[in-house]
Chain A
């Protein structure tokens, strides 16, 4: 029997039928009592009372009323939206942009920061592990022995692994390709819970020894792309960095390693470290801090607890091994702050993106709210009638909210599509570096869906709010009377609500414009920094020369021959090799140094970075020497060890004395200073002056090197020629892309560039939305005050007076919005923090430009409505107004 309760439609029909029969019978009886047909019907009706009310009350008894109402609202809302497709499309588009921007940022944050490693188990408990040193600002790596000791002594973690990024040139037939890969501890695949789909992971003990276990696990993608999905791949061999490796496994599809920024293509055990990482065998060297590692906390363990334990272990290590570990600590970092991949540097960009996306959402909501408000005027009659018929205030409110919900729902559908399509777009904001495309996939999972739903509900409430509050204020009698008189009155409060929405939009857009201006100016300032080397006419390309030969002698011959050939190319002034080009992603070699006569403060060991460079390096790079001379070909492995220091290092250790001829100890070897180079930028253009030195490549040989060329020749032509020379020397070898130092510097400002692109795009969007909002308000105001305008005109106002009247009103609204926006901007722009470089957060130029842009937009948006006002025909408007 109860099935009928669940069918409100059927029930309502039955009720109506029942009532009709009742009326029919009553009418019949009245007629039999001798009444006229019309009278009888009226009498029956009167007898019955308020039919609609009875129906409504009866429905109330069926507890399902809210559902019934909701369905009715949903149908009504959909009908309303279908009836005005233009409005609906505009509203949904605005909201899709607003919610879509948020969904896209959510998916990026999810994919890059919170669940960065697909398929890796328990990422919520995973933390990055880095070393600290007293007297050094940033975190650095751990040494392998320290990592081993930590792993052995930790009780609060249930897994620790090493995953250190490196690159390799993979030779396949006559092709050479550069691929990113990871050096990992043997427990890697076990701890992260990823099972190779073919073959096996690493066995314990495979991370012990010097080049002892040449085995490799390759990615699914690499297996498909380079090995054509060969099912018998396991057991085959592949040369990597000159060493034959046995392929022991293929990682499952979708697993891209544990590095934010690039997709890993292969994994080798730590025992192969010296083949892939510069600096020789380091597994027993407590002073070589190259290990990038992660720790997974046991369930329920907090970061603080784990950090206490880690710090205690580090302190014990410092006490046990004072010569290497004095003043050294270890620190746990949340995954999104991981210092040794791109997560840390992306965090501020993503935070900014989130803030900007929220602004765009607010602007979009204000815009759609405005449109809804305009429409709610048209529906005041409907609302008044419904209120008069007994619809509760709450009922009207709910109807408004339902309409908002439909719009937001449609928009979130679109927004998820936007997020899904743009999930790989984050990477577009960042320029490629070193020829390897970054890999920053967004992730649209249930958490993103949930966040998106929350945003939709939030915007629904915002949207429903304005018209709903208006509707709930309806004074039935007054509204009905006014409607009948055809006057749109009672407009004061509404006009303010709409003006308020426009002000919100204008102020938020202004804020974004100011932000954009500040970041653009910072970027210009950054571009203007003197890096200390010439950017013009200097080209760099790196080569994994390891593959040139298995032996050092062969590599040295290759280097010499390559330099000789390149120097002979037309247009080349000079060429040099260095282990690293400045401003790259790889880290320099570093060493604790000691200098005759310099006593380090207790508990401090300054680690200084250095680069291994060939003769002609300083000339090629255009780094001036203030004293002494640069390395020459004679500074080879048979000669006395020498070094060139920079000005900061000379000043710190020799305090004004002439450093030429002085001695410094690097990695236990004493070297003589032969030159002082001017300071330049080493790791990034924003770094303050820091101590740095250079050693001859020959005396500190590294097989992989970067070729530096000073040439005024066209990059593309030269690139082809260099490629040809490399091929001639070794057919298996291909250089990375050849780029100018100018380009290198530009890439080093990637986060500013990303912020500029994003702010410019979203700022423009915001400006457009604000313009639409302003236009809508002014157009509506003009259409509603046609009568007033007609009267003014009839009373002698000129056309241009009317134009001015409308323009002044629009511009005033904008000015108020700008004033509010400026006040907020003064408070908020300092949050841009790191993105600002030598630009005051209240930079007048940025504020001024934003002001001009906003005003020009406002004038443009108001012009059309004003023009229409001016062209109004007073006779017609006055007549039609009656």
Chain B
């Protein structure tokens, strides 16, 4: 079963991981595991963050100053590193979203041309 999931999962498009992380954090602070789970759930189990690239991405975003991290104690068990969107991160999110929309529109345009001019 696990194997099937593995096969069917869609590789996250290059460059969209940052957008997904920032957008997910927009809805509230989360730790790494919750973040990856949220992305999976919200995408209807289609988008699976390769966790091996999740943490590098988180640290990259932290370095860029778009997210901030803080250690928080969990109810039962080990402390968790919780990430939160910063002000700069919110601006960055808006930029990423608009970029993404432009791209998807463009791609959609290519797939379903609206203009009839092209017809012979």
Contacts and interface: CB of A to CB of B under 8 A. Distances in A.
Interface of A: 1, 5, 14-15, 17-22, 24-26, 43, 46-51, 53-54, 57-58, 60-62
Contacts of B77: 24
A5 B62 CA distance: 11
B80 interface: yes
B46 to A, nearest CB: 16
Interface string B68-90: 10010000011111000000000
A18 B32 contact: yes
Interface stretch (B15-23, B49-57, B94-102, B111-119): B49-57
B30 to A, nearest CB: 12
B53 A54 contact: yes
A29 to B, nearest CB: 8
Given A26-B33, A49-B51, A62-B63, A57 B78 contact: no
B110 to A, nearest CB: 33
Interface in B27-41: 31-33, 36
Contact of A22 (B2, B33, B50, B79): B33
A22 B56 contact: no
B59 A58 contact: yes
A879 B82 CA distance: 59
B57 to A, nearest CB: 9
A494 B81 CA distance: 50
Given A15-B55, A18-B55, A48-B51, A61 B33 contact: no
Given A22-B51, A49-B51, A61-B63, A54 B33 contact: no
Given A18-B81, A24-B77, A25-B33, A61 B51 contact: no
A49 B2 contact: no
Nearest to B31: A21
B55 A58 contact: yes
A19 B68 CA distance: 17
A576 B115 CA distance: 128
A190 to B, nearest CB: 63
Contacts of A47: 51
A43 B55 contact: no
A60 B55 CA distance: 12
A54 B78 contact: no
Size range of the chain B interface in the assembly: 20 to 34
A57 B51 CA distance: 12
A207 B29 CA distance: 91
A415 B36 CA distance: 58
B50 A14 contact: no
A563 B114 CA distance: 131
B116 to A, nearest CB: 48
Contacts of A49: 50-53
Interface in B1-26: 2, 6
Nearest to A53: B52
Contacts of A20: 78
A21 B52 contact: no
B50 A17 contact: no
Contacts of B31: 21
B55 A21 contact: no
Nearest to B63: A61
Contact of A54 (B55, B79, B81): B55
Contact of A57 (B2, B36, B56): B56
Contacts of A1: 68
A22 B32 contact: yes
Listed from nearest, the 9 A-B pairs whose CB atoms lie closest are A49-B52, A25-B33, A54-B52, A48-B51, A57-B56, A58-B56, A61-B60, A22-B33, A18-B81
Given A26-B33, A43-B2, A21 B56 contact: no
Nearest to A20: B78
A54 B2 CA distance: 22
A50 B77 CA distance: 25
Contacts of A48: 51-52
A454 to B, nearest CB: 37
A244 B50 CA distance: 98
B21 to A, nearest CB: 14
A102 to B, nearest CB: 45
Given A24-B78, A49-B51, 18 more contacts: A1-B68, A14-B81, A17-B81, A18-B32, A19-B55, A20-B78, A21-B78, A21-B80, A46-B6, A49-B50, A49-B53, A51-B52, A53-B52, A54-B53, A58-B56, A60-B56, A61-B59, A61-B60
Nearest to B48: A47
Contacts of B50: 49
Nearest to B36: A22
Contacts of A62: 59, 63
Contact of B52 (A14, A15, A43, A50): A50
Contacts of B56: 54, 57-58, 60-61
Which of B56, B78, B81: most chain A CB closer than 10 A? Answer: B56
A5 B31 CA distance: 20
Contacts of A57: 52-53, 56
A861 B24 CA distance: 72
25 contacts: A1-B68, A15-B55, A18-B32, A18-B55, A21-B31, A21-B33, A21-B78, A21-B81, A22-B32, A22-B36, A22-B51, A24-B77, A24-B78, A26-B33, A26-B51, A46-B6, A48-B52, A49-B50, A54-B56, A57-B56, A58-B55, A58-B56, A58-B59, A62-B59, A62-B63
